[in-house]
Amino acid sequence: MVNVLVIYGSPRAKSDSAALARALLEQRPADAAVKEYNAYRMNARPCLGCGGCDRQVGCVQRDLDGFYRDFEAADYVVFASPVYNGGFPAPLKAILDRFQCYYALRFAHRVKPPIEKHRRAALVLTGGCEAEGGEQMTAALRQQCTVLNAELTAVVTVTGTDKRALSQADFAEAREAGAVLFREEGEKENA
């Protein structure tokens, strides 16, 4: 059995990024256990930059304890988010900042890797404008993945959603990304 953790970053009930993430998830293995979190319901406290995680192992704030456990157990992590002013919406950004305790584990406590389980990650982004490609968001998450023992394997970016509905091509792209994300080790790309 494999564990899939999904973190939704949209507040909208009819979220485009969530719809695409669900298409991506269609490709998951039959025995996958899926755990879903919505950043807007988690109300994660922002990182305080207090350095507490440099002195002790783990975050001094306890509100995400259960989430951290699920996150560390995941074989696959899917982030699905709209672009908000060029970045992640504040509730999701708070969670990403709270991964600072893994950075501290790696560099203050010298634990390598800071999370035992190696995992693959995917990012699904939707932006309302044509021009917004979420490049900085992708780059930032890719960088963060290095202390999360994660490999950002698949990225789906759909732009222009403020002027059009998601298309079949968008969903096909998400499914293709899912196929890449969940591809078995050693499986050939076009097999």
The pair of three-digit structure tokens given for residue 54, joined into one six-digit string? 């440099």
Q: What angle do CA 147, 23, 94 make, to 5 degrees?
A: 35
Instruction: CB nearer to ligand FMN: give 91 or 127.
Output: 127
151: number of Cβ within 10 Å = 14
Residue from 54, 128, 140, 142 touching ligand FMN (CB under 6 A): that is 128
Specify the stretch interacting with ligand FMN by CB under 6 A; choose among 7-15, 53-61, 104-112, 174-182.
7-15
- Binding of ligand FMN at residue 103 (CB under 6 A)? no
Closest approach, Cβ 96 to ligand FMN, in A, equals 17
Residue from 15, 100, 144, 149 touching ligand FMN (CB under 6 A): that is 15
Query: How long is the chain?
Result: 191
Closest approach, Cβ 60 to ligand FMN, in A, equals 30
| Peptide linkage before 11 cis (omega within 30 of 0) | no
- Binding of ligand FMN at residue 132 (CB under 6 A)? yes
Instruction: CB nearer to ligand FMN: give 26 or 63.
Output: 26
The pair of three-digit structure tokens given for residue 163, joined into one six-digit string? 């002027």
Cβ–Cβ < 8 Å for 179, 122:
no
Residue from 43, 49, 69, 85 touching ligand FMN (CB under 6 A): that is 85
The pair of three-digit structure tokens given for residue 13, joined into one six-digit string? 């009930």
Closest approach, Cβ 166 to ligand FMN, in A, equals 9
- Binding of ligand FMN at residue 40 (CB under 6 A)? no
Q: Coil, helix or strand for 78?
A: strand
Instruction: CB nearer to ligand FMN: give 43 or 85.
Output: 85
Residues that bind ligand FMN (CB under 6 A): 10, 12, 15-18, 82-86, 126-129, 132, 161-162
